Amino acid sequence: MPVRPVLQLPEPVLQRPTTPVDAIDDGVRALLDDLVDTMLASPACVGLAANQIGDGRRACVVDVTGHRKARSCHGLIVLVNPVIVATAGDELAREGCMSVPDLTGDVARATSVVVRGTDREGAEVEIEADAFEARALLHEVDHLDGMVFLDRVESHAAVFRRKVYR
Amino acid sequence: MPTLAITAIGIDRPGIVAAVTRVLLDHGCNLEDTAMSILRGQFAMVLVVDAPAGTDAAALEAALGSETAELDLTASVRELHASAATATAEGSRWTVVVYGPDHPGIVHLVAARLAAANVNILDVTTRVTEGSATAGSLYSMVMEVLLPPGLEPDAVEAALTSGPEAEGLTCRLHPADADVL
């Protein structure tokens, strides 16, 4: 269960929609373990999608535990074949991404969300989340659809360098 | 490989960016960071580019002028010396919005007070409105700044609006830090 390198744009796999998982087997569970380990290895990381570590299967993990902007918090969320089934609200906030280093952007996202998928045993799960946890889920599902936050930036003045000096 | 700072400004019309970048591309330059905007009807460009070894700044400036002559741009090319900015700036990011009745000195007042508090300005846009029959012009400024650790935004707001020189100015700070997802 190794920590895997997080790929960065312009790596093409980040812009390709991932493929739904047919059946959950040990290979898929190993991928989920790698996602969790890689997420936990980065202190600021609150979520990771499979294509960020170069795997084209539709799976992601999210954990916003302890984040100051979190309201709902389901702890560690592991999702295979996640689909957004409902959203509500709209809020602008600045996002960064491990796969888009140095840049940040202001992105409008729903403030509450319902996501459906399966867990690591293949049982169907439905997660209702709001605030920061909703944003994190939407960000990861975007990855699985081949999108990064830059695809969502609508204001011309909204992309900044994350670091001021090098 | 020299790093060049290039500025170009001229009356706004379609084709300025295309013309300037054509010349730079023809001279083997690679655009790094750029900022371009319309200021009072003038299209203004500031570009930092990497140029091939041996590029002569004065010659490139002359080429920019002659090869975009129909646009009547005012252009300059200067070589940058790249050793300086290596320090890592620490702190939190904030958006500062300042507005009030237009008069000379607003930007300097705000910037000087921010500098005195060791606040680093990262980005500034200012605009002034035409004003109406009953009210004068409104000056507005939006900045992105880096507050040093330990400096509270309330203290900055208070510092920016204290004293008679700041009469009529409204200042607001909003958090602008990004969450890494």
- Reported as a single tens digit per residue, the pLDDT across B7-34 is 999 999 999 999 999 999 999 999 999 9
A·B CB contacts under 8 A: 52
Q: Is B38 on the interface with A (CB under 8 A)?
A: no
Task: Find the mean pLDDT for residues B109-134.
Answer: 91
Please state which of the ranges A107-116, A119-128, B172-181 shows the lowest mean pLDDT.
B172-181
| φ, ψ of residue A39 in degrees (nearest 5) | -65, -45
Q: Which of A14, A38, A104, A144 has the highest number of chain B CBs within 10 A, making it the mutation to test binding with B?
A: A104
Give the sheet arrangement for strand A100-109, strand by strand: A159-161, A100-109, A91-97, B179-180
Out of A11, A124, A140, A154, the active site residue is: A140
Of B85, B123, B181, the CB nearest to A95: B181
Inspect the interface and report whether the beta carbons of A97 and B181 lie closer than 8 Å. Answer: yes
Inspect the interface and report whether the beta carbons of A44 and B146 lie closer than 8 Å. Answer: no
Distance from CA of B181 to the nearest CA of A (A): 5
Q: Which of B90, B179, B181 has the highest number of chain A CBs within 10 A, making it the mutation to test binding with A?
A: B181
Which residues from A are below 8 Å from B when comparing CB atoms?
A: 44-47, 67, 69, 93-98, 104, 132, 135-136, 139-140, 149, 157, 160-166
The mean pLDDT of chain B is 92
Q: Is B116 on the interface with A (CB under 8 A)?
A: no
Reduce the DSSP state of residue A70 to 3 states and report it.
Answer: coil
Q: How confident is the model at residue A1 (pLDDT cuts 50, 70, 90)?
A: low
In the annotation, is A140 catalytic?
yes
Task: Find the mean pLDDT for residues A98-108.
Answer: 90
Do B138 and B100 touch, CB atoms closer than 8 A? yes
Distance from CA of B86 to the nearest CA of A (A): 5
Residue B131 identity: G
Please state which of the ranges A47-51, A161-165, B136-140 shows the lowest mean pLDDT.
A161-165
Q: Is B83 on the interface with A (CB under 8 A)?
A: no
Reduce the DSSP state of residue B63 to 3 states and report it.
Answer: helix
Reduce the DSSP state of residue B136 to 3 states and report it.
Answer: coil
Q: Which chain B residue has the Cα nearest residue A136?
A: B181
Instruction: Report d(CA B144, CA B47) in Å as an integer.
Output: 20
Q: Is B58 on the interface with A (CB under 8 A)?
A: no
Which residues in chain A have Cβ-Cβ distances shorter than 8 Å to B88? 163-165
Residue-wise pLDDT tens digits, B41-64: 999 999 999 999 999 999 999 999
Beta bridge partners, B120, equal B146
Residue-wise pLDDT tens digits, B64-114: 999 999 999 999 999 998 665 545 578 899 999 999 999 999 999 999 999
What is the DSSP code (8-state) at residue B57? H
Of A132, A157, A164, the CB nearest to B122: A164
